[in-house]
Amino acid sequence: MTNLDPRSMIALAGFMSALMAIVLACMRRYYPPHIRGIGAWAAAPVFWLASTALFSSRGLVPDWMGLVGANTLLVLGTMTYYMGTRAFLGHRHTWRIWSGVLLLCLGVFTWLSYGWPNYEARLTFFTLVMSCIYGAQLRFLLRFGGSNFPVRLVEVVLVLHLATLLMRLGSIFAGHTGANLMEPSIYQNLYIGAYALTVLMLSIGALLMATDRLRTELEHLATHDSLTPALNRRALLQRCEEEIERARRYGGGPSLMMLDLDHFKAVNDSCGHQHGDAVLVHFVGRTLAVLRTPDRMGRYGGEEFMVLLPGTDATAALNVARRIHATLAVGHALDCKVSIGLTQWTGPEDTLDAMLARADAALYRAKAQGRNQTVVG
């Protein structure tokens, strides 16, 4: 392993950086702009690529480029990746703090290259700074990243590279620093190889996180109403079929409620469709607030909605209907009146079509009896 050429390994890391920068830049161009952080993730490999190019050119370029510039760009790329992660998870940038750290690094690298040239001190300082950045990102992901696979992958990569950096510090304190970065040794090759792998895996982790976010949003769009937080008709009917099938196996069937906003056409005609949309959003938000976690609400069509109440008989469902009427009568400017038709599952022979027909018939009776009430069918 000591016969490996450090320049070749650094060039390999640069190639990986260039490849992942292109991939992430394409993602930034074609992914929705509200998925933030991809631009910073795409910029980070560019900085890493520039750094590896300068590292590989030592002896061919001035020391302020091959030493000071290369180390500073590597730190900048790692900071930029961290800022991209913060933006992706909806947190503000902390560039004001990290810019100060970057300026400090620039000053220290310059001093340890020209004022007091000392490879061991420069290597120690660089390793400590990188450990702090990786540690800050790992702490951030553990607090806010969640538990999905892409985040866990990045966390594992950060832990492994932190372990490598600690091993490097141990080798420095044990007197195995070497004369310079290009000196072939097991410690140098281990660190450079770990760096090349980390660059690749962090970029892959960013790609997977962005792809997972896009997949989640597409699934949400496919199952939810485009205006309100309610499910769309297809998704809600699928949930109803699943719940009825569960009830046939285990008992405890659901209740269904059909809800229709009273005189909604008059609202649109007198106040405009934008106001009507606001009424619908308010109605759904208030209704969801009084439902249980397993309950499901969907938009059946226009101003007509449906609520699935798993494991609920008609008596308990009536209490839910009363809460809906009450929450829409608190005096809010967007409050509306609603008629509700309610039915419960009657046994293994009952079907979704039959339940929908009963709930719809009950809804029409509620309308005929004066609206703003609940009728059981």
DSSP string, 171-217: HHHTT---SSTTS--HHHHHHHHHHHHHHHHHHHHHHHHHHHHHHHH
**pLDDT confidence of residue 363:** 93
**Residue 328 belongs to a domain:** yes
* Order of strands across the sheet that contains 374-376: 296-301, 304-309, 255-261, 338-344, 374-376
Q: Is residue 1 part of a domain?
A: no
| Rounded distance between C-alpha atoms, residue 303 and residue 281, angstroms | 11
Q: Which of 169, 187, 222 is the last residue of a domain?
A: 222
Question: Which residues are annotated as catalytic?
Answer: 303
Q: What is the pLDDT of residue 1?
A: 43
- Which tokens belong to 34? 């509200």
Domain harbouring 54, CATH code: 1.20.1070
Domain presence at residue 256: yes
Tell the burial category of 353 from Cβ atoms under 10 Å away from its Cβ (0-12, 13-18, 19+): exposed
- Interatomic CA distance for residues 147 and 150, integer angstroms: 8
Do residues 186 and 2 make contact, with C-beta atoms less than 8 angstroms apart?
yes
Look at phi and psi of residue 22 and say left if phi exceeds 0, alpha if psi is from -120 to 50, else beta: alpha
pLDDT reported for residue 187: 67
The range of the structural domain enclosing residue 73 comes to 6-222
End residue of a domain, out of 192, 222, 252 = 222
Query: Are residues 365 and 218 part of one domain?
Result: no
Together in a domain, 218 and 242: no
Residues 175, 271, single domain; the answer is: no
| Chosen domain end from 199, 222, 245 | 222
Residue 296 confidence (pLDDT):
94
User: Consecutive sets of 10 residues in the chain, 377 residues long: mean pLDDT of each?
Assistant: 59 76 86 89 90 79 84 93 94 86 92 87 91 95 93 95 89 71 66 82 92 89 88 93 92 92 85 89 93 93 92 92 92 88 92 93 92 90
On whether both 11 and 98 belong to a single domain, the answer is yes
Same domain, 275 and 370: yes
What does pTM read for this prediction?
Answer: 0.76
Residue 42 within a domain: yes
Inside any domain, residue 227: no
> Is residue 228, in this structure, part of any structural domain at all?
no
Is residue 130 assigned to a domain? yes
Query: Hey, what amino acid is at 274?
Result: Q
Say yes or no: 335 and 285 in one domain: yes
- Measure the CA–CA gap between 144 and 81, rounded to whole angstroms: 16
> Does residue 271 fall inside a structural domain?
yes
Asked if 190 and 57 sit in the same domain, the reply is: yes
The pLDDT of residue 183: 60
Q: Report the C-alpha gap between 17 and 48 in whole angstroms.
A: 6
CATH of the domain at 289: 3.30.70.270
Amino acid at 234: R
Number of domains in the chain: 2
